Amino acid sequence: MMGQMMEQGLLISTLLKHAENCHADTEIVSRIVEPAEGEARFHRTNWGEVAVRCRKLANALKRLGVGDSDRVGTLAWNGYRHLELYYAISGSGAVIHTINPRLFPEQIAWIINHAEDRVLCFDINLAPLVEKLVPLCPTVKTWVALTDAANKPKQAIANLVCYEDLLAAENDRFEWPELDERQAACLCYTSGTTGNPKGALYSHRSTLLHTYASSLPDVMNTSARDVVLPIVPMFHVNAWGIPYSAALVGYKLVMPGAALDGASLCEMFVNEGVTFSAGVPTVWLGMLSYVREHGVKLPAFKRAIVGGSACPPSLQQAFKKELGVSLQPGWGMTEMSPLGAVNALKKKHLELSDEPRGTLELKAGRLVFGVEAKIVDGDGKELPRDGVAFGDLLVRGPWVIKDYYRSDKSPLVDGWFPTGDVATLDADGFIGITDRSKDVIKSGGEWISSIDLENIAMSHPAIAEAAVIGIAHPKWDERPLLVAVRRPGAEVSGKELIAHYEGRIAKWWTPDDVAFVDELPHTATGKVQKLKLREQFKEHQLP
């Protein structure tokens, strides 16, 4: 017997309608990308205006021939026009495909061709990049510069129109269609360190459920009394869901554009009274050094989520002590929309002494309801949730992908998505990331965490950056090699570094050898490319 409840679908357009009905005057402030002479550097709008412009944009998309489920690409920073694209594209039944402009042009072209984007919208400081893309992307029928006619890019871009011209030609009457909630809404490609990028195709349903969950008190904890600045870009897994929760919650939204340096961020944090933010460790490091150098005060700022990679302990402590800001680690991935866990303590943890509490506060996060997780050993056998055993981390839930876009090979294992992380789970749902599955070093049938070894190396004062990889070994299968970059002017020998491990780790975990390099190879998003390192050191002879 079915329940007798209304069959209202979980649609992205309902978020926009809610924002228009309940948050019409709530501000959305954006830093303008490349303001022209005399143009204001900051743009102010609100949900009432955005909702009207979204309806015009939906009409414009129809006029450009964008049909049901057609892909519309964006190469854009965090700003109000990008926000309008989020709602108008998905709301009208098409698919927004957000693209990372920091990838190589060939990668971007590959992604655009794989997605078969029909229209591509770009911020004007990316016009030089777009000029290169045009000949490589035959599926794109219209290139839309996110600006007005006065600022139209001068580059040679065929079929170029300006966003404001498109909107000006339309009226604001548009009925958002009553779509199937499982319909595709957004497409995000992973910037994998290996192979071609893979697309995660979110539905309206998955996006709405993720939006509810991400706003919870133990997740992002955002209310209509907050001012939120997403540093994480809207081309990076939908800025972790902030463009959607902004409409649900009705907090003031502050969009930093392309300027993510400490000075630019601090200017907006101070002027707009930002209370909450989200970003990767690198931007927090940049902001911290700017704050220290210029004695900036951020009294409104209280909390931020730090994700993308592990939060350095010193960063978390500095934010706490110097700024009074809780940096809460979060964990997720493109394939998870992205949120899986956020570090939020329970009542019993408030009574912990500093040390165990500090250790806990650095864990990747506590599971969000909606994401189930388990850890398994090499044979797929489930391991205990005791915070000690570690194994391959698998997840499932309504905002986890079941397939990649246009791929016929399911990534799932018995219905679970393998995250590629090696982790511990505890009885409270806290996840502790031990390593990436492909980076963990398999020595004598046991696993060694490359991350743990890297953290110890980086705790040595002479070391700027370190990576640990497994080198084939006839007896142990693999043994760890430490690849390290010395700080400028610092001196340290391999022997001294090996000695630094003593007492800090089980003896058999100690790296067998150290190789010094001038720099480590990085991906476009700043991660160390261990695949390249393994290639580079594949002939390395351990002592």
- Catalytic residue numbers read 190, 335, 442, 447
Question: Which residues in 192-211 contact a copy of itself (CB under 8 A)?
Answer: 200-206, 209
Using the rule CB under 8 A, is 22 a contact of a copy of itself?
Answer: yes
Among 146, 213, 325, 457, binds a copy of itself (CB under 8 A): 213
Handedness of CA 287, 289, 295, 299 (dihedral sign): positive
d(CA 287, CA 356): 27
Among 41, 297, 346, 487, binds a copy of itself (CB under 8 A): 346
Using the rule CB under 8 A, is 513 a contact of a copy of itself?
Answer: no
Q: Are strands 326-332 and 95-98 parallel, antiparallel or unpaired?
A: unpaired
Nearer CB in complex with a copy of itself: 48/105: 48
Using the rule CB under 8 A, is 518 a contact of a copy of itself?
Answer: no
Six-digit token string for 170: 């339309």
Using the rule CB under 8 A, is 396 a contact of a copy of itself?
Answer: yes
Supply the minimum distance, in Å, between the C-beta of residue 8 and a copy of itself. Answer: 4
Using the rule CB under 8 A, is 238 a contact of a copy of itself?
Answer: no
* Contact present, 329 and 358 (Cβ < 8 Å): no
**Stretch of residues binding a copy of itself (CB under 8 A), selected from 103-111, 180-188, 433-441, 531-539:** 180-188
In a 3-state reduction of DSSP, which class is residue 223? Answer: coil
Question: Which residues in 91-120 contact a copy of itself (CB under 8 A)?
Answer: 95
Q: Nearest to residue 119, comparing CAs of 74, 79, 88, 162? A: 74
* Contact present, 371 and 330 (Cβ < 8 Å): no
Can you point out the beta strands (E) in 85-167? 95-98, 119-122, 142-145, 160-162
Using the rule CB under 8 A, is 222 a contact of a copy of itself?
Answer: yes
Supply the minimum distance, in Å, between the C-beta of residue 390 and a copy of itself. Answer: 17
Q: How far is CA 396 from CA 345, 413, 415, 440, 485, in A?
A: 23, 10, 7, 23, 38
Six-digit token string for 415: 């219905």
Supply the minimum distance, in Å, between the C-beta of residue 32 and a copy of itself. Answer: 24
Nearer CB in complex with a copy of itself: 280/425: 425
Using the rule CB under 8 A, is 87 a contact of a copy of itself?
Answer: no
Nearer CB in complex with a copy of itself: 22/524: 22
Burial of 105 (0-12, 13-18, 19+ CB in 10 A): middle
Using the rule CB under 8 A, is 271 a contact of a copy of itself?
Answer: no
Supply the minimum distance, in Å, between the C-beta of residue 346 and a copy of itself. Answer: 4
Using the rule CB under 8 A, is 404 a contact of a copy of itself?
Answer: yes
Nearer CB in complex with a copy of itself: 230/365: 365
H, E, C per residue of 295-361: CCCCCCCCEEEECCCCCCHHHHHHHHHHHCCEEEEEEECHHHCCEEEECCCCHHHHHCCHHHHHHHH
Nearer CB in complex with a copy of itself: 198/534: 198
Using the rule CB under 8 A, is 352 a contact of a copy of itself?
Answer: no
Nearer CB in complex with a copy of itself: 226/439: 226
Largest CA distance in the chain: 74
Using the rule CB under 8 A, is 225 a contact of a copy of itself?
Answer: yes
Question: Which residues in 424-453 contact a copy of itself (CB under 8 A)?
Answer: 427-429
d(CA 296, CA 275): 15
Nearer CB in complex with a copy of itself: 157/185: 185
